[in-house]
C-alpha cells in the first residue's frame, strides 16, 4: 500500500487501547505501522471519539470480537460486550460504507472539523525516562498532556479533554540514542547541542515530520493548535489542503515562571534552552537570568 497523499508515508493504526492514567483522564494509545521505517510510532489520543480511519475501517472476514480486540470499538468496553460498532449502554453506533468498509464520520460519534490541541513530540529516552536535566522533553511531554486535559490554564486555552500527542520514534533529533550520548560527551567537553551534532557529522536536526502529518490526517485532524516553540515544526505540520496549523501554543519552561521553584534547574538545561533560542530560532523570550553565550562556563576549544 502507498499513501493516497503524494509524498506522505502510508500509515496504518494496527491497535488502540484505553489507558487509565495517574494524571486523571483516560487516554487511547494508538500504535502505527508505516511503509518508511520499521519503527512503531504512536499517537496518544485524548477523547474516545477521535478515530483513526485506518483502524476503524472494516477488514474482510473479521468478527466484532476481532474489532474489539484491535480497539476499533465505539464507547467503552465492558465484560460481556459483544458488538464493537455499537455501545448499547451509551446508545452509540458507528456506520460504514458497505463497499469500502470505511468509517462514515458522524459528528455524534466522531470528532470532526474542530481545532485540536496537538503536540508532535520526538522520543527522548534520557529526558522522559532517565530523569535527565539536560533537556526539557520530559517536562514538555507532561505539560502537553495536562494542557490537553484542562479547559484553560492561565491565558492558554486547553483542549478540554480532546487532543493528540503524536509520539515519533526519532530519538536525539533523529540521530538515535547512541549518537546522542556521544553528543552529550561533546557537550560536556564544551560544544553546544548544535555544534555536537555537526562534529559527529549529523545535521543539527535530522528529523522528518511527514510521519506526524500522516498520523494526524489518519486521525481526522485538520486544524491544529500546535504546542511548540519550534518554528520548523509549525511549518512542517502544513499539508494543504488536508492539514493546517491554525495556532501556535507556546511552551514556556516551568522554571521561568512563578517563584522559579518548579521545572528543571541545571546548568545544562540553561545552555540547551539558550542554544535552542539563539541557534535554532525557537520562539521563546529568553529571561534575563539565562546566561548569554559569552559567560558560559562550557566554552572550550571545541565551541
Ligand atoms: N542530538 C541531540 N538531540 C537532543 C538533545 N537534547 C534533546 N534532544 C532530542 O531533541 C528532540 C526534542 O524534541 P522536541 O521536544 O519534540 O522538539 P523541539 O525541537 O525541542 O521543539 P519544541 O516543540 O519546542 O519542544 C528529542 O528527540 C530529543 O531526544 C541533544 O543535546 N542532542
Ligand atoms: Zn530530551
Q: Give pLDDT tens digits for 232-275.
A: 999 999 999 999 999 999 998 888 887 777 898 899 999 899 99
Q: pLDDT over 90 for what percent of the chain?
A: 83
Residue 291 lies in a domain: no
What is the pLDDT at residue 301? 47
For the cut 80, the answer to whether the pLDDT of residue 161 exceeds it is yes
Residue 182 lies in a domain: no
SS3 225: strand
Burial 21-58 (b: 16+ CB within 10 A, else e): eeeeeebbebbbbbeeeeeebbbbbbbbbbbbbbbbbb
> What is the Å distance from ligand 1's center to 265 Cα?
17
SS3 151: coil
From residue 1, how far is each of 9, 56, 155, 164, 242 by CA, in Å? 10, 17, 44, 25, 20
Cα–Cα distance between 27 and 48 in angstroms, integer?
8
User: Cα-flanking dihedrals φ and ψ of residue 141, to 5°?
Assistant: -60, -50
* Beta strands 86-87; 92-93: pairing state: antiparallel
From residue 52, how far is each of 66, 92, 126, 246, 291 by CA, in Å? 16, 17, 30, 21, 45
Residues carrying an active site annotation: 205, 207
Residue 130 lies in a domain: yes
Quick one: which ligand is closest to 123's CA? 1
> What is the Å distance from ligand 1's center to 205 Cα?
9
Banded pLDDT at 289 (limits 50, 70, 90):
low
What residue has cell string 505539560? 143
Lowest mean pLDDT segment, chosen from 161-170, 214-223, 260-269: 260-269
Residue 144 lies in a domain: yes
Residue nearest to atom 22 of ligand 1 (CA): 228
Residue 299 lies in a domain: no
Quick one: which ligand is closest to 172's CA? 1
Q: Between vectors from CA 12 to CA 147 and to CA 95, what angle results, nearest 5°?
A: 85
Residue 29 lies in a domain: yes
Residue 193: all three cell numbers together:
547541542
Residue 178 lies in a domain: no
pLDDT digits (tens, 9 = 90+) for 116-158: 999 999 999 999 999 999 999 999 999 999 999 999 999 999 9
- Give me the domain span that covers residue 69: 11-171+207-249
Task: Compute CA 120 distance to the chain's CA centroid, rounded to the nearest angstrom.
Answer: 3
Residue nearest to atom 1 of ligand 1 (CA): 172
Please say whether the beta carbons of 301 and 190 come within 8 A.
yes
- Pocket of ligand 1 from Cβ distances under 6 Å: 121-124, 135, 137, 140, 170-173, 175, 180, 183, 193, 197, 228-230, 233, 251, 282
Cα–Cα distance between 26 and 13 in angstroms, integer?
19
Higher per-residue pLDDT: 222 or 299: 222
> What is the Å distance from ligand 2's center to 121 Cα?
10
User: What's the average model confidence in pLDDT over 213-229?
Assistant: 98
What residue has cell string 536536526? 205
> What is the Å distance from ligand 2's center to 133 Cα?
9
CATH number for the domain spanning 64: value is 3.40.50.10990
Cα–Cα distance between 54 and 121 in angstroms, integer?
22
The chain-wide mean pLDDT, for the chain, equals 92
For the cut 70, the answer to whether the pLDDT of residue 41 exceeds it is yes
Specify the number of domains making up the chain.
1
Alpha-helical runs (H) found in the chain: 53-56, 64-70, 125-128, 137-149, 177-188, 193-199, 210-218, 231-236, 267-280
Residue 186 lies in a domain: no
Banded pLDDT at 288 (limits 50, 70, 90):
low
Quick one: which ligand is closest to 273's CA? 1
Banded pLDDT at 291 (limits 50, 70, 90):
low
Of all residues in the chain, what percent are helix, strand and coil, respectively (each to 5)?
30, 20, 50
User: What's the average model confidence in pLDDT over 40-50?
Assistant: 98
Residue 148: all three cell numbers together:
490537553
Banded pLDDT at 6 (limits 50, 70, 90):
confident
User: What's the average model confidence in pLDDT over 178-184?
Assistant: 98
User: What's the average model confidence in pLDDT over 161-180?
Assistant: 98
User: What's the average model confidence in pLDDT over 97-109?
Assistant: 96
Residue nearest to atom 10 of ligand 1 (CA): 173
> Which of 120, 123, 132, 137 to mutate for ligand 1's pocket (most ligand atoms within 8 Å of CB)?
137
Amino acid at each position: 500500500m502507498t499513501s493516497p497523499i503524494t509524498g506522505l508515508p502510508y500509515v496504518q493504526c494496527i491497535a488502540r487501547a484505553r489507558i487509565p492514567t495517574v494524571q486523571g483522564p483516560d487516554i487511547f494509545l494508538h500504535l502505527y505501522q508505516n511503509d518508511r521505517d520499521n519503527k512503531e510510532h504512536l499517537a496518544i489520543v485524548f477523547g474516545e471519539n477521535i478515530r483513526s480511519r485506518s483502524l476503524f475501517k472494516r477488514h474482510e472476514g473479521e468478527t466484532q470480537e476481532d474489532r474489539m480486540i484491535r480497539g476499533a470499538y465505539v464507547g467503552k468496553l465492558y465484560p460481556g460486550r459483544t458488538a464493537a460498532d455499537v455501545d448499547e449502554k451509551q446508545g452509540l453506533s458507528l456506520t460504514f460504507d458497505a463497499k469500502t468498509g470505511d468509517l462514515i464520520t458522524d459528528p455524534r460519534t466522531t470528532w470532526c472539523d474542530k481545532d485540536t490541541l496537538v503536540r508532535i513530540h520526538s522520543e527522548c529516552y534520557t529526558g522522559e525516562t532517565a530523569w535527565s536535566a539536560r533537556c526539557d522533553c520530559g517536562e514538555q511531554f507532561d505539560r502537553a498532556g495536562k494542557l490537553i486535559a484542562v479547559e484553560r490554564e492561565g491565558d492558554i486555552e486547553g483542549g478540554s479533554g480532546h487532543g493528540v500527542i503524536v509520539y515519533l520514534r526519532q530519538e536525539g533529533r533523529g540521530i538515535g540514542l547512541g549518537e546522542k550520548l556521544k553528543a552529550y560527551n561533546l557537550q560536556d567537553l564544551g560544544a553546544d547541542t548544535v555544534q555536537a551534532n555537526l562534529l559527529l557529522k549529523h545535521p543539527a536536526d535530522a528529523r522528518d515530520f511527514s510521519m506526524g502529518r500522516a498520523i494526524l490526517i489518519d486521525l481526522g485532524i485538520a486544524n491544529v493548535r500546535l504546542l511548540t516553540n519550534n518554528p520548523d515544526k509549525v511549518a512542517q505540520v502544513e499539508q494543504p489542503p488536508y492539514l493546517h496549523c491554525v495556532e501556535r501554543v507556546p511552551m514556556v519552561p516551568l522554571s521561568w515562571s512563578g517563584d522559579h521553584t518548579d521545572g528543571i534547574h541545571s546548568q545544562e538545561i540553561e545552555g540547551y534552552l539558550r542554544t535552542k533560542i539563539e541557534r535554532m530560532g525557537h520562539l521563546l523570550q529568553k529571561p534575563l537570568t539565562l546566561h548569554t553565550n559569552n559567560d558560559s562556563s562550557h566554552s572550550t576549544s571545541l565551541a
